Amino acid sequence: MAAGEMFNQSARHPLSGSRGIWSALHIDPILMLLLLALIAGGLVVLFSGADQNMAVVKAQGIRMGVALVVMLVFAQLDPAVFRRWAPWLFAAGLVGLAAVLLIGVGAKGAQRWLAIPGLPRFQPSELMKLVVPMMVAWYLSRHYLPPRLRHVAVALVIAVVPMAMIVLQPDLGTSLLVGVAGIFVVFFAGISWRLIGAFFAMVSVAAPLMWFFVMRDYQKQRVLTLLDPQSDPLGAGWNIIQSKTAIGSGGMDGKGWLQGTQSHLEFLPESHTDFIVAVLAEEFGFVGMLALLVLYLLIILRCLYIAATAQDSFSRLLAGALTMTFFIYVFVNVGMVSGLLPVVGIPLPLISYGGTSSVTLMAAFGVLMSIQTHRRMISA
């Protein structure tokens, strides 16, 4: 088809000289560069946040290496593979979530892990962060876009069922990200603004119901503490007060690397995991925060560009949703640490210490690279 000729990459690609190599490796060099910069900067901050514990930095480095490999593996696969496998992966994911609820293992009153003999322990809910947008994208791209109400309803069911199963674990943060990923697909598919309006109206009704019937006490406490951290300065409010103090005392230029008193004197809790951004803000100041957010913005811009230029609806919807999910990570994490949002357990993507979410995130970037580097004639 002639339309396919418009997507001749050699004419459009800015790095056309090396296009051949990158394309053969299925790597998007710009995105790769930005991700490596983020990961490297993240390890520097982690060294400080983990109180100069080199073992923590090494472990995180190894994890990031594994995540990069996973990303490259995903990048090698054709987007059509994701599309074909989406329903099966979704079904497998639902079975996994059910299994977690029945025989899952975990700690601190939450069952999140599945320990199947012979396989490494894993979290089906993490997998769903990828599979739910795939499934919704698969479903909607089979029909005319914008979707009809009936299709929107089915798409929302596809998103809400795993979301509900994850809430039961309970894991509010992951559930939120899974649901958001599905909803973004629906939004990118072109759901009408009237429906969006109706949806927000519904949410405003559902919120009080959630409060009274669904939310656990610790989740309510987080919301209440957000509204007034001083009400419980030594308990739930402690984290927020201390993280705000860390951020605020950083000032314009920060206290300098490894010089943050809030984190190094152990006032700041979770300083190498969920609250690591406070360490960065304290030690590198407003300038450092600006640099971090700009880096995230560049990644998001590149990913949205990949989405906008993707060849088919499935790829576009999936790429757009994965990108926006990544952004939600950033916004919710920085928002909660700076006291704008309640504390939900969402890490700062690719910087917070911890394995599973980094692997999932890098897998998503692998999907994006796959979409960017597997181009062909539409009719093929």
Residues forming the site for other proteins (CB under 8 A): 3, 83, 141-146, 184, 187-188, 190, 241-242, 244-252, 261-262, 265-267, 281, 285-286, 289-290, 293, 296-297, 300-301, 304, 307-308, 312-314, 316-317, 320, 324, 327, 331, 334-335, 338-340, 378
Looking at the Cβ atoms of 122 and 267, the one nearer to other proteins is 267
- In whole angstroms, the minimum distance from the beta carbon of 275 to other proteins comes to 13
CB of 49 to other proteins, least distance (A): 15
CA–CA gap between residue 173 and residue 180 (Å, rounded) = 11
**CB 248 to other proteins: min, Å:** 3
**Cis ω before 170 (30° cut-off from 0):** yes
Residue 86: other Cβ atoms inside 10 A: 23
| Smallest distance, other proteins to C-beta of residue 61, A | 27
> Residue 248: how many CA atoms within 13 Å on its side-chain side?
8
Looking at the Cβ atoms of 112 and 316, the one nearer to other proteins is 316
As a whole number of angstroms, the distance between CA 196 and CA 208 comes to 19
Closest CB to other proteins among 22 and 327? 327
Least distance (Å) between residue 145 CB and other proteins:
5
| Distance, CA of 219 to CA of 233 (rounded, Å) | 17
Sorted by sequence, the CB contacts under 8 Å of residue 218 that are 6+ apart come out as none
Dist CA 187 CA 147 (whole Å) = 10
Closest CB to other proteins among residues 46, 240: 240
Q: Please check whether residue 344 is in contact with residue 172, taking contact to mean a CB–CB distance below 8 angstroms.
A: yes
Of the pair 96, 250, the CB lying nearest other proteins is at 250
Task: Give the residue ranges of DSSP H helices in 142-260.
Answer: 149-167, 172-189, 193-209, 217-227, 236-250
CB of 66 to other proteins, least distance (A): 29
Residue 88 or 211: the one with the smaller Cβ distance to other proteins is 88
| Beta bridge partner(s), residue 107 | 110
